[in-house]
């Protein structure tokens, strides 16, 4: 049987099939039909109403708009008014066609991220967070990587790295962490979100071809530290200022860090610690005597209160980027 004939037989999808494809419950589709008029436009040979691929595209567009923080009523109105056109039935067999169609439509729609009101999410405690943060939390908990990626990408393009980290990403990561601490659940959602965050931040830092600094900024983690997202956040924020950096990733041994400093002669060295560091390694004293002397920054809640002479504690992202920029004379 040819693809064309199979596609012809497959025209008209049931509520259950469309719900799985769009990523919502069947009851949600029925609610959207009843409240907002997004209903199936095809009919089966027996006269039963079925969803066409164009209907599915509208539903996917509405879902993505809702996740972006837009009220459902307005999202439905935009989905109905969008110029989707009649898609080919063969698009049922190629999810990329549907994704590209919806992405193209989204690029022409301005989503106001300030559709915000105090309140929590349906799954995670997001009290007082913006609607877009709650949308990202829902997408992450649904393991919807494409939606997470789109939301992060939109925010980075519209608001920049600092705003996106402090107002969007950090609150959702914290909410997922609290969910795991209280219930032991949600680690899979945190991993999905982390991969999406790293992917989008790396795109920004990797696009920096001609940095203004000859001596790079070196980003590393403490010897037992597994968290790497802060390195990607700082690298992307620096790239916005045309400052180049190198990231060493998680669990950087002391001798490896020292070797990297000797080979790169960085202008600044940032060491992240999320996991508590009980004592500062004596090997770090060697870093103080590095020549040319770099700015030595210890960042994160894992460092003890008293730092060795020569090390500087950095605060939030903005103060960290400012300190590095000052060290570079920018």
Query: In whole angstroms, what is the distance from residue 324 CA to residue 297 CA?
Result: 9
Which residues are within 8 A (CB) of 328 and not within 5 positions of it... i.e. 6 or more apart? Answer: 212, 213, 243, 267, 268
**43, 76: one domain:** yes
Do residues 161 and 179 share a domain? yes
Do the domain assignments include residue 168? Answer: yes
86 located within any domain: yes
Residue 203 has pLDDT above 90, yes or no: yes
Q: 200 and 212: one domain?
A: no
C-beta separation of 126 from 176 below 8 A: no
Mean pLDDT of the region 271-279: 90
Confirm whether 120 is domain-assigned. Answer: no
User: Is 119 inside a domain boundary?
Assistant: no
Does position 160 have pLDDT exceeding 90, yes or no? yes
64, 132 contact by CB (below 8 A): no
Give yes or no for residue 273 having a pLDDT over 60.
yes
Please tell me whether residues 164 and 265 are part of one structural domain. no
**For residue 327, is pLDDT > 60?**
yes
Residue of higher predicted confidence among 317 and 329: 317
On whether residue 122 sits in a domain, the answer given is no
pLDDT, mean of residues 273-285: 83
The pLDDT-based confidence of 196 (bands split at 50, 70, 90) is very high
Q: Which of residues 207 and 26 earns the better pLDDT score?
A: 207
pLDDT, tens only, 82-122: 777 655 554 444 555 556 666 666 655 554 444 333 334 44
**With 70 as the cut, is the pLDDT of residue 318 above it?**
yes
pLDDT recorded at residue 282: 77
Q: Output the pLDDT for position 91.
A: 47
Say if pTM beats, i.e. exceeds, 0.75. no
- Both 217 and 294 in one domain: the answer is yes
Confidence (pLDDT) at 120: 41
Q: The domain that contains 143 carries what CATH number?
A: 1.10.1240.10
Residue 48 phi, psi dihedral angles, 5° rounding: -80, 140
Q: What is the pLDDT of residue 106?
A: 61
Chain-wide mean pLDDT for the chain?
Answer: 82
Same domain, 233 and 188: no
| CATH code of the domain containing 237 | 3.40.50.280
Say what the pLDDT of residue 239 is. 97
Give the count of domains, the chain: 3
Q: Is 72 helix (H, G, I), strand (E, B) or coil?
A: helix
Q: Which own/partner pairs from 3-9 qualify as long-range (CB within 8 Å, at least 24 positions apart)?
A: 3/90, 3/93, 4/90, 6/93, 7/89, 7/90, 7/92, 7/93, 8/89
User: Do 61 and 162 fall into the same domain?
Assistant: no
pLDDT computed for residue 151 by the predictor: 86
Residue 96 burial by CB count (10 A; 0-12/13-18/19+): exposed, middle or buried? Answer: exposed
Q: Is residue 18 part of a domain?
A: yes
In this structure, is residue 181 part of a structural domain? yes
Final residue in a domain of this structure, among 163, 184, 205? 205
Whether residue 199 sits in one domain with residue 161: yes
Q: Is residue 295 part of a domain?
A: yes
Judgement on whether residues 199 and 249 belong to the same structural domain of the protein: no
pLDDT above 90 (res 162)? yes
Which of 190, 125, 136 shows the shortest CA–CA distance to 164?
Answer: 136
Distance of CA 73 to the CA centre of its chain: 25
Indicate whether 252 and 275 sit together in one domain: yes
Task: Please report the pLDDT score of residue 1 as a whole number.
Answer: 35
**146: confidence class by pLDDT, cuts 50, 70, 90:** confident
Q: Is 231 left (phi over 0), alpha (psi -120 to 50) or beta?
A: alpha
CATH number at residue 76: 1.10.1660.10
Q: Do both 214 and 181 map to the same domain?
A: no
Q: Among residues 205, 239, 260, which one ends one of the domains?
A: 205
Boundary of a domain, candidates 205, 236, 256: 205
State mean pLDDT over 145-161: 88
Task: Give the domain range for residue 178.
Answer: 131-205
175 and 222 in a common domain: no
Per the listing, tokens 């070797």 go with 259
């Amino acid at each position: 049987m040819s693809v064309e004939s199979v596609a012809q037989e497959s025209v008209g999808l049931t509520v259950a099939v469309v719900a799985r494809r769009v990523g919502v419950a069947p009851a949600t589709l029925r609610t959207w039909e009843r409240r907002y008029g997004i209903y199936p436009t095809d009919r089966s040979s027996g006269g039963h109403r079925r969803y066409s691929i164009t209907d599915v595209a509208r539903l996917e567009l509405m879902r993505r708009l809702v996740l972006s923080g837009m009220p459902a009523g307005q999202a439905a109105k935009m989905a109905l008014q969008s110029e989707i056109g009649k898609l080919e039935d063969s698009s049922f067999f190629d999810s990329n066609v549907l994704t590209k169609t919806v992405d193209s439509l989204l690029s022409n729609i301005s989503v106001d991220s300030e559709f915000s009101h105090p309140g929590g999410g349906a799954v995670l405690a997001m009290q007082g967070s913006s609607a877009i943060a709650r949308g990202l939390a829902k997408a992450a908990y649904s393991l919807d990587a494409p939606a997470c990626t789109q939301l992060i990408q939109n925010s980075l393009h519209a608001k920049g790295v600092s705003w996106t980290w402090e107002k969007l990403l950090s609150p959702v990561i914290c909410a997922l962490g609290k969910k795991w601490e209280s219930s032991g659940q949600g680690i899979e959602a945190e991993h999905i979100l982390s991969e999406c965050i790293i992917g989008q931040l790396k795109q920004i830092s990797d696009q920096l071809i001609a940095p203004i600094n000859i001596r790079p900024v070196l980003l590393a983690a403490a010897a037992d530290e597994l968290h790497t997202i802060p390195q990607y956040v700082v690298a992307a924020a620096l790239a916005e200022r045309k400052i180049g950096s190198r990231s060493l990733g998680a669990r950087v041994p002391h001798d490896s860090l020292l070797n990297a400093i000797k080979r790169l002669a960085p202008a600044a060295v940032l060491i992240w610690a999320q996991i508590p560091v009980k004592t500062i390694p004596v090997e770090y004293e060697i870093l103080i005597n590095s020549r040319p002397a770099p700015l030595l920054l210890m960042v994160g809640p894992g460092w003890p209160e008293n730092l060795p002479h020569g090390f500087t504690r950095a605060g939030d992202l903005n103060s960290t980027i400012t300190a590095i920029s000052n060290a570079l004379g920018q």
